[in-house]
Chains A and B, each alone.
Chain A
Amino acid sequence: MLQAWVIVLASLAYLGILFAIAWYADRRADTGRSLIANPVVYALSLGVYCTTWTYYGSVGRAAANGIGFLPIYLGPTLLFALAGFVLHKMIRVAKANRITSIADFVASRYGKSQLLGGMVTVIAVVGVIPYIALQLKAVSNSFAILTSYPQIIMPATAGAVPILQDSALYVAMILAVFTILFGTRHLDATERHEGMVAAIAVESMVKLIAFLAVGIFVVWGMHDGVGDIFARAATVPEVARRLATADSPAAYGTWGTLVFLSLFAALLLPRQFQIAVVENVDVSHLRRAVWMFPFYLFLINLFVLPVALAGLLHFPAGTVDADTFVLTLPMAHQHEALALFVYIGGLSAATGMVIVETIALSTMVCNDLVMPLLLRLRWLGLAARADLSGLLLEIRRWAIAIILGLGYLYFRVAGEAYALVSIGLISFAAVAQFAPVVIGGLFWKGGTRDGALAGLAGGFALWTYTLLLPSFAKSGWLPDGFIAHGLFGIELLRPQHLFGLSGLDEITHCLVWSLLVNLGAYIGVSLQRVPNVREARQATLFVGGTEAAASPNWRGSAGVTDLLPLAGRFLGRERAEEAFSRHAQQRGLRSLHELPADARLVSFAETLLAGAIGSASARAMVASVVTEEPLGLDEVMNILDEASQVRAYTRELEQKSLELTRATTDLREANARLRELDRMKDDFISSVTHELRTPLTSIRAFSEMLHEDPKIDLPQRTRFLGIIVSEAVRLSRLINQILDLAKLESGRAEWTVAAVDVGEVIREAAESLTVLFAEKHVALEFDVKEQGLTVVADRDRLMQVMVNLLSNALKFVPTDSGRVKVGAGATANEVRVSVTDNGPGIQAEDQEVIFDKFRQGSATTDVLTDKPQGTGLGLPISRQIIEYFNGRLWVESTPGAGARFVFTLPRQAGDNESVPQGDARLQSTGPGEGAHNKLSRGVA
């Protein structure tokens, strides 16, 4: 019953049904009632991930490695379950920028580079062709096996069959025709294929149901449930071994590699990108898909292990290829209908993959490879041709045919050397090369076009060398020695043990090297320079998300009269007019002719075109009609300059604001200090005024009285004149002291610095006051050492201090019983002088106050009815002088028990005996020089 014509007819009928579904879905889409705008359809269409590789190959791999088939599905499961946000971002970005393919995505991200788009296309085509070959192999094998029914005969190797009798050739041709019918019936402005997606969703259902049917038949038809199969398998040691998991470190490594590879494959394979990103109707569908798609993978893997074990148990070892168990088990039990259904399921898996993959690839080839080249060839006159939409379709059709042709070629050349799974993994490893530029492009703004080119080129080269070429060599297409001994016989260059790296399986080995080089080059080269204006803009759009996409990035403008014909050439006149009218409506205009010639219109046209011919080509085409001043180097520099200025300015502003805050605090403090100083100055002036006015008051009063009344008697007159004289003396002394203090405080005082014998100074000062002491009958005692009292100071100033202290003491001791004692001695470092009196003493709180200007201790007036004589400036001046020479001046006193004023001065080093008096003023040599120099700054 299962003659060839039945199978062919069933196949064609099935494809016909699919086509009808696609046609119906397209019709529905045109009338605005989309069939596929539904998360379930989206999730099912993602099932295109499961090809014949899954359908037939999983069982084959399970028969060889037990559960080693699983990582291929764990990867996508992890991707959807854990990294949905990556997909989400990818979809949003792709929609906002009308991305048509993975090549377009990469090209657009790195500044709409045509070169980059072309390179991604080449890698994708080269990388995916083995995968397509795999589908052809599977379909033709299953066809061959089915036609030999009821016998079970493994088909001859591909190369052995004459080409015209090779069913794979016809499968390839039929699929090409079918794909062309599906994918290139018309050039859609949105570059979405609703019919195709609907058909793919149906196919996903068919292959799932077919596989589940086989599984149910095997488990419950042939055996008594899963337990039965496993129990039987356990009894056969050969089979039981398959149930073990990875049993060597390398096997664990392989698991990791496969999970990693399949994770990226589910994202980056052209067909996956097409279905998951480009064909996505609504990004919210992803929410349901993140669990539905993994669930689909779970279901389709549910019976893999039972079927594999059943096949191993049923067929004698080596007679039947495990890849065909799904088909051969029903055949062996004479279930023709089930076998045919299984075959149809396999056909589903293959056609689904081939259709989507080739459509995606043909779009890439057309938009990113052929069109940019053709548009450059001026002699073709393409740029001037009125309608290019036909040409675009033509290119895509040819691309589909050629890609399938190449797939067939690979199948003929290399197909037999590998099992299904291995061929698939070669493709996976190729598309994994996109991972750095795509993921990096979505999350890192620093990536540049050059970095992306370098990364892709490096990764692709290593992939070719370590994986693709060996696959040719194993097929006998290249000499065997290439694998065993390396290129030119250099051991280090052995493609599967590059630079001596061993212990890994070939896929892991390839992946380690290619991704290492890829990632290194991508990051390394990107860091060589900052992104240029265009890259930076795209980086903002991709990394920053869609929000940034709002601003039009054209600086020039073009009118409807230019843009409409341009769009019409690629989309067809009607479609273009329709789109422009819609745009006009959105902007609240009545017709497309009212559209203003502005940057927004240009951006709209570019996006519209990007949907048809890719972003890089669209930019080039629009640029040809837009009257935009060419973006010269100067302008780029200007833009960059502006951008960096703005950045610098922002940084500067932040800096400034910080500085301002600091400055404000500083100012506030300074202001407070100034206020304090101002208050002190006011107080000082007020005090000075008071002190000056007081003697002046007496002088004026007495002068006036004497002046007005000449008849004042003589004693009175003498007394008054005496007062006037003494107050005038007081006044001039006060003025001198104020000036003196002002000089000291401002540092303008003149100093004559030399070695001074303090003992000498004391004696001289005492001598000058002898008369005053005698008048008051006050005893002056000395306890002054003879030697070692030499300091470096100003002799006159020191005398001033000494006189001040002595006259202060004299002032406060009682007449007759008063006693003042002067002491002087030296320690190792300093000379210490004290003046002790038996006056009333100074209260503790006044002991510092008396050194303030115009502040005389209140206690000092206790015993005297008079206000103390003096200006209140003597002690402050003395302290200034002593401190100038690095000494200290203070008072020790117990009220009622006298006071003791003490000052210290640093002793001149090396002073052992008193300095010869005559030389004292000039002597400044020897160890004292340092101090001399330091102090001499004050010398005029």
Chain B
Amino acid sequence: MSHRILIVDDEPNIVVSLEYLMKKEGFQIAVATDGESALRTATEFLPDLVLLDVMMPKKSGFEVCEAIRADPKLGAVKIIMLTAKGRETEIVKGMALGADAYITKPFSTKELVIKIKSLLA
């Protein structure tokens, strides 16, 4: 059974690339382009892993991460934060909020896939 992955990003082109990448690995995909719809989709889609952008309108990735961790139904979800802001404090903050990994944009597609697989293993 293939894993379910929720892609959250407000940059259409990045969403396109991630979608293509995940589908190629055989994952089931759902997409959200802002924080609020990401939470909505997460509760319906119940993903195994969320690829979560930090800088988004309405709700930031940090808020989404916090909300997912607070939701008991989504207890086992793995979260990988994606951000274009590479500052150390952001990484620390993300990990503190319960993210499993933190990947800086622009990322290496190979490494991203390896990271996802190792988290889902």
Contact = CB atoms under 8 A, between A and B. Distances in A.
Interface of A: 686, 689-702, 704-705, 708-709, 716, 723, 726-727, 858, 861, 865-867
Given A694-B84, A701-B109, A705-B17, 10 more contacts: A693-B106, A698-B16, A701-B14, A708-B110, A716-B20, A726-B13, A861-B57, A865-B33, A867-B11, A867-B57
A336 to B, nearest CB: 121
A76 B17 CA distance: 113
B72 interface: no
Nearest to A682: B87
Contacts of A723: 13, 16-17
24 contacts: A686-B85, A686-B87, A690-B84, A691-B84, A696-B105, A696-B106, A697-B11, A698-B13, A698-B14, A698-B16, A699-B106, A700-B106, A700-B109, A701-B18, A701-B109, A704-B108, A704-B109, A704-B110, A705-B17, A708-B110, A726-B13, A861-B57, A866-B12, A866-B33
B60 to A, nearest CB: 12
A724 to B, nearest CB: 9
Contacts of B26: none
Q: From B24, B57, B84, name the one whose CB has the most chain A CB atoms within 10 angstroms.
A: B84
Contacts of A689: 84-86
Contacts of A867: 10-12, 33, 57
A694 B18 CA distance: 13
B97 interface: no
A701 B21 contact: yes
B55 interface: yes
Given A693-B84, A867-B12, A705 B105 contact: no
A388 B72 CA distance: 117
Contacts of A704: 108-110
A697 B105 CA distance: 6
Contacts, number: 76
Contacts of B86: 689, 693
Given A704-B109, A861-B57, A694 B11 contact: yes
Contacts of A690: 55, 84-85
A694 B105 contact: yes
Nearest to B33: A865
Contacts of B18: 701
A694 B12 contact: no
B115 to A, nearest CB: 14
A693 B12 CA distance: 14
A702 B16 CA distance: 9
Given A689-B85, A689-B86, A701 B10 contact: no
B101 to A, nearest CB: 16
Contacts of B13: 695, 698, 702, 723, 726-727
Q: From A696, A698, A709, name the one whose CB has the most chain B CB atoms within 10 angstroms.
A: A698
Q: What are the 4 A-B residue pairs with the smallest beta carbon separation, nearest first? A: A693-B84, A701-B17, A697-B106, A698-B13
Q: From A697, A700, A861, name the one whose CB has the most chain B CB atoms within 10 angstroms.
A: A697
Nearest to A693: B84
A702 to B, nearest CB: 6
B109 A697 contact: no
A426 to B, nearest CB: 99
A550 to B, nearest CB: 66
Interface in B43-98: 55, 57-58, 84-87
Nearest to A703: B109
- B interface, by DSSP: helix, strand, loop or mixed? loop
A698 B55 contact: no
A726 B58 CA distance: 26
A735 B56 CA distance: 22
B85 A708 contact: no
Nearest to B90: A686
A727 B104 CA distance: 18
Contacts of A698: 11, 13-14, 16-17
Q: From B12, B24, B57, B106, name the one whose CB has the most chain A CB atoms within 10 angstroms.
A: B106
A201 B107 CA distance: 115
B107 A697 contact: yes
A705 B57 contact: no
Given A867-B10, A867-B12, A867-B57, A697 B20 contact: no
Interface in B18-40: 18, 20-21, 24, 33-34
A423 to B, nearest CB: 103
B87 to A, nearest CB: 7
B83 to A, nearest CB: 8
A702 B21 CA distance: 9
Given A865-B33, A867-B57, A697 B16 contact: no
Nearest to B58: A858
Nearest to A686: B85
A136 to B, nearest CB: 108
A686 B20 CA distance: 29
A697 B84 contact: yes
Contacts of A701: 14, 17-18, 21, 106-107, 109
B77 to A, nearest CB: 23
Contacts of B85: 686, 689-690
Contacts of A694: 11, 14, 84, 105
A686 B106 CA distance: 15
A698 to B, nearest CB: 4
B13 to A, nearest CB: 4
Q: From A686, A704, A858, name the one whose CB has the most chain B CB atoms within 10 angstroms.
A: A704
A332 B67 CA distance: 131
Contacts of B55: 690
Nearest to B104: A693
Nearest to B20: A705
A454 to B, nearest CB: 82
Contacts of A699: 106
Contacts of B105: 693-694, 696-697
A723 B87 CA distance: 27
Contacts of B109: 700-701, 704-705, 708
Nearest to A699: B106
Nearest to B18: A701
B95 to A, nearest CB: 19
Contacts of B33: 865-867
A511 to B, nearest CB: 90
Contacts of A693: 84, 86, 104-106
Nearest to A724: B13
Contacts of A727: 13
Contacts of A697: 11, 14, 84, 105-107
B107 to A, nearest CB: 7
A64 B34 CA distance: 120
B109 to A, nearest CB: 4
A686 B55 CA distance: 12
Contacts of B104: 693
A866 B11 CA distance: 7
Nearest to A866: B12
A385 B72 CA distance: 119
A382 B85 CA distance: 102
A244 B112 CA distance: 125
B84 to A, nearest CB: 4
Contacts of B87: 686
Contacts of A696: 105-106
Q: From A692, A694, A716, A866, name the one whose CB has the most chain B CB atoms within 10 angstroms.
A: A694
A858 B17 contact: no
A691 B110 CA distance: 23
Contacts of A702: 13, 17
A726 B14 CA distance: 13
Given A694-B105, A697-B106, A723-B16, A858 B57 contact: yes
A321 to B, nearest CB: 114
B3 to A, nearest CB: 20
A684 to B, nearest CB: 12
Contacts of B24: 709
Q: From B20, B24, B85, B110, name the one whose CB has the most chain A CB atoms within 10 angstroms.
A: B20
A701 B105 CA distance: 10
Contacts of B34: 861
